[in-house]
Each structure stands twice: as C-alpha cells, then as structure tokens.
Structure 1
Amino acid sequence: MAPPRFVAVGVSEKNRDGRNQSARERLQQQREREKAREKQRRVLIVTAGVVGVLGLAAVVGVIAANAGKDGGSDKAGPVVAPAGSIEGDKPAIPVGASDAPSTLQVWEDFRCPACAQFENVFRDTVHELESSGALKVEYHLATLIDGNMGGSGSLRAANAAACAQDAGKFPAYHDTLYINQPQETDDAFGENAKLIELAGKVPGLDTPSFRSCVEGGTHDSWVEKANQAFQNGGFRGTPSVLLNGESVFPAKGAEQISPANLKKWVAEANKGKKPGTAFPSAAPSAATGTPSAG
C-alpha cells in the first residue's frame, strides 16, 4: 500500500489554511489599528510645560484638526446674540469694565479639561484684576470637543452660558460650569436638565426665562458663529489666551504663565494708565465670590 501522502498533504493544507487565516486576521487587526491611529491623528494634543507656583503641571489643548466637524446643531436659525455681547467677526461675552486699559481674550470650550484647569487656577486672579478695573475679559465660546469627540455638551453649555449673560449672571454661571465640569468623554452638559440644575447654584438664575432660553437653544446659532471664528482664527487649541493681542498661554515669550506673572504683565501693560470704571450694572457682584462645587 502506498504511503498516506494524500492524508499528509491534506493536513499540511489545513495547517497552511489555518496559517493563512491567521495571517489574514493579523492583517485585518493591523488595518483596524491603522484606522484607529489615523482617527487619533485628527486630534492633536498639545502639552504645555509646568505653569507657575500653583502647580498646574501640564495643560492639554485639543486642536481642531477637522474644521468640518464643528459640533454645531443640525438646525439653522437666526443669530440671536446674548445681551451685551461683542459682535462682529469674533463674537464674545465681555466681563469687567469696558474701559479697562487691558484686555484678556480667552478662547475656550466648556467641555475642555485644559480650560477647566486654566480657569480653576487663574479664576481668583482674573476676578481680582477685573474688579479693580485693570482688566476686562472677552470670552469666546468654542464647540471643539463636540466636533472631535461627538455629543453636544459644548454647544448646549455655551448656549446656557449665553442665556446666563441675558440674565446678568454669566461670570458666576461660567465659573459654576467649570467647577462642575464632567469628564471629557461624559457628555453630561449635553442634557439641558443638567445645565438647569447647575443654574440653581447661581442665586437668581434659575427662572422661567432662563429655562426657556436653555431648552429652546435661543443662542445656538450665535455659539456656532463664535465657534466658526475659533476655527478661522488659526488657534492651536483651547484654551487660547491673549493679553492685549499677545499670546500668554502657556507662556509669554520666555516666561511661563502663573497668577503672579499675569498680574505683573497686566501691571506692565497698564503703567501710567487709569483703571476702568465703566462696569456693567450686574457684572461686579457676579465677579466676586466663587460658586461651590458639588
């Protein structure tokens, strides 16, 4: 009887088929990994160095690599600006004396963890400079995280903040949102009920008109316009912070930003200039005190 070559070959072919299948699976897995890496390349992480004596060790800004995904809503509507906002091609909400000698421009996203780090470290310093008339701040609201990670929390929170501006409560509500910011991957701010719940931490804000503004998305189109200004501005990420047009975050020239350095830079810029006195009627009280977390 001839040796069982046919059987041996069959086993060899089965092994070869198994190896080929395994190779195909590895190739498929490699392709999936490459797709995942390509997706990750769309979100560039910028890490700043150590920031000042308060120990803000590193701040991460997310870059809007995909300008086509701006986190906007699907509905189109008229642009309804919040009361007292700055219009033009760079919409913003101002805080502080309008005639303050220096201006801090802050481009940020309520879902951005680096923005919360910045706000939580510099909040007291910025409010002190605002209340003294040395500095006014212009807040430019972006929806970067919605665009890069999905969800609607950036847009919904920005609209709610604009509704708080209508009520003269923007600074306190702005701070409350950052103090109570969820994890970046948790789109809790996408729920209007959560935003209304947090409004309860700001005395006098949770009113029927505020709720109607939040639930109706009154300022959605205005927020989208503000986000488009961010996309067109050439900024590397959020937060982007400029003092009198010069970038100061994470550094101003060779000097790292810190609360002490920010005070020094403002004092240098304001030398020989009078502090501002033209405060909006509701702004000074909102800029004092810090909302509680929880």
Structure 2
Amino acid sequence: MQAQREADEAASRRRKKLIAGGSVFAVIAAAVVTGVIVQNQRSEPETPAAAPAGTTGDKNLVIPVGAANAPSVLTVYEDPRCPACGSFEREFSATIDQLEDQGKISTNAHIVSFIDRAVPGKGSKSGANALACAQDAGHFRDFHDVLYRNQPEETNDAFGDKAVLISLAKQVNGLDTPAFEACVNEDRYGGWVSSVQQDFDKSGYRSTPTVLLNGQPIYPKNGNDQITPANLAKWVDAANQGKQLGTPGSNGQTPAPTAAAPEANNPSPNAG
C-alpha cells in the first residue's frame, strides 16, 4: 500500500508538471501568434474607408491633375508642412499649372504627412485631409497652391488648426462651402491620408519633395542640369517631341477655377 501511494504521488507530480509546461507553451505560442499578427498589421497598408472623388491608382491614393491623356506625367510627393515643398511650389507652381493647362503634362500628386512624426502637431495630416476635401469639391489645384503660398514655418502647427484651413479656402472661388467645412472638421479622409503615407513609406523615397518626370527623378537635378522653371518646360517639350498633346479637362474632373486674389501671405489673422 505504501509503495502504491508513492507511485500515485509520483504520477500526480508528473501530471502537474506536464500541465504547467503545457500552459507555459500555450502562453508562448499565443504570444508568438499575437506578435506575428501585430507585425502583419504594421506591415500591411490599411485600405481607406473612403477616398476623394477622382483619385486614381492602387487603392485610389493618387490625386490626378491636368489632362489624363497628356503625353508626359509629373509625379510629385509632397507634405503640406514641408518647407522644401513650399519653396518648390512657390517657384514652380505657375509653370506646372501652365504645362497642365496646355495639355503637356498630367500631374500625379501624392500628399504625404510624415513631418507630424518628428515635429509636434498635426498640420501635415490635417492639411492633407483638407486637400482631399478640396479634391472632392473639384478645387484641388487652386487650394493646393493657396496652402503653399500661405505655408507657416515647419515648427508652427498652423495647419493643425482646422479653422485656418477653412479660412484659407475663402481664397478659392467656390470652395468656401458648408460641405467643404464639414469635410475638414470631421477629418473625413483621415484613413485615406494614413494610407497615402503608408504607401510613401514603402516607396523607397525618403524626402519631400520627390519629383519625377515620366518616372525619372528631376528634383533637384535631371542628370547634370539643375531644375529651374525654364528647364522643366524644356525637359517636358523634349519628352513630348512628336507626341499629341492632351485635352485639358479629360480627367473627368471639374476644370480648375481661377483662384481669388490672396488676402495675405499669413496662415491666420494672428500670424506675424
């Protein structure tokens, strides 16, 4: 009987060890599975619940401007809060707008928002959402130009204030509407903004502005030639040699209206 009790106790101890070991293994396995799921969630770009009207490309992350049948394509990656983007736009926007209006290029705009990661605030994301709202209303190009003409310093999060963005919309004829205001205030395209940024993260590009002409980098140089408005027009004409120009308005979007005269080069009435 004593020997049987000892055998039973030994068997009981073995069962407890097996149960405890199995529990530990299950916890570890669950943690591994959870880690894989979390990592997959980090690496897989989210699909936005809604995208602005007229967007194109995979998951509708690109805002097209100009004639869809233009012979050349200008691809631009920009952050609304990026000072280098502001400098680029103030120097080149008139030339790019003219090339679009002439049917020489269409522009694929990628509105990214990574500066909010490094500089406190949310001006990149809020500005990108406002641009998406302007695209929805058929006024992307003019509002885009207005934002960059009134861009604050990088450390000034003026674009994080939705009232500032709504106020700037008054400079674009037809954009100052309750529908646009509601779109900005409710951050309607926040998911889309995040998806555009995730796409940029995967692109291999690491700075803004990144500018390509027919897939080839041209900013700050095209080969040995420095980019200037005159050089940009020359490069486009060379690329279009012998090709038929596009038809402005062929992208199915409302033709870009004429922007109202800028009120002031300040992001808000209180700016210095």
- Which category of TM-score, normalised to the shorter sequence, fits these structures? 0.7 to 0.9
- The answer for the alignment partner of 1:6 in structure 2 is none
Q: CA deviation at 1:86?
A: 1.3
- Distance change >3 Å, CA 193–CA 257, structure 1 → 2: same
Shift of 1:236: 2.8
| 1:152 aligned partner | 122
Q: Does 1:215 align with 2:201?
A: no
Q: Does 1:166 align with 2:136?
A: yes
Conserved 8 A contact 2:47-2:195: no
Paired residue for 2:208?
Answer: 238
- Among 138, 147, 150, the alignment partner of 2:108 is 138
State the one-letter code of the partner of 2:194: E
Partner of 2:218: 248
The one of 85, 94, 118 aligned to 1:115:
85
- Structure 1 residue 79: deviation in Å? 2.6
CA drift at 1:283: 4.7
Cα pair 1:175 1:291 within 8 Å, conserved? no
Conserved? CA contact 1:172–1:291, under 8 Å: no
Gaps of 5+ in 2: 1-45, 265-272
Q: CA deviation at 1:151?
A: 1.2
Q: 1:127, CA displacement in angstroms?
A: 0.7
Partner of 2:164: 194
Pairing 1:104–2:83 present:
no
Correspondence 1:229 to 2:166:
no
Helix, strand or coil for the counterpart of 1:227? helix
Check conservation: 2:111, 2:196, Cα contact below 8 A. Answer: yes
Q: Is the 8 A contact 1:180 1:293 kept in 2?
A: no
> Which one has the bigger helix percentage?
2
Q: Percent identity?
A: 48
Contact 1:179–1:293 (8 Å) recurs in 2 = no
1:200 is paired with a residue whose SS is: helix
CA positional deviation for 1:292: 1.5
Q: Which of the residues 50, 54, 69 maps onto 1:84?
A: 54
TM-score computed with the length of structure 2 as normaliser? 0.76
Which residue does 1:5 correspond to in 2? Answer: none
Larger radius of gyration: 2
Residue in 1 that maps onto 2:23? none
Q: CA RMSD of the aligned region, Å?
A: 2.0
Matched, 1:271 2:244: no
Q: 2:173 — aligned with what? A: 203
Aligned: 1:258 with 2:243? no
Whole-Å separation in 2 of the counterparts to 1:89 and 1:285: 24
Cα shift readout 1:84-123 (whole Å, capped 9, x = no counterpart): 0113067211110000000000000000010000000001
| Alpha-carbon distance in structure 2 between the residues aligned to 1:159 and 1:84 | 15
Could you tell me how far 1:77 is from its partner in structure 2?
Answer: 8.9
- Equivalent pairs, count: 219
CA contact (8 A) 2:173 2:259 kept: no
SS of 1:214 mapped into structure 2: helix
Q: Secondary structure, in 3 states, of the residue corresponding to 1:235?
A: coil
SS for the counterpart of 2:58 is: coil
The one-letter amino acid paired with 2:112 is: A
- Normalised TM-score (structure 1): 0.71
C-alpha contact 1:102 1:266 (8 A) present in aligned 2: yes
Q: Tell whether the 8 Å contact from 1:168 to 1:282 is kept in structure 2 after alignment.
A: yes
Change (3 A) 1:120 1:290: farther
Judge conservation of contact 1:95–1:136 (CA < 8 Å) in 2: yes
Q: Unpaired runs of 5+ in structure 1?
A: 1-75
In 1, Cα distance between equivalents of 2:235 and 2:95: 12
Amino acid at match of 1:206: D
1-structure distance, mates of 2:47, 2:60: 19
Name the CA distance, whole Å, in 2 between partners of 1:290 and 1:269: 33
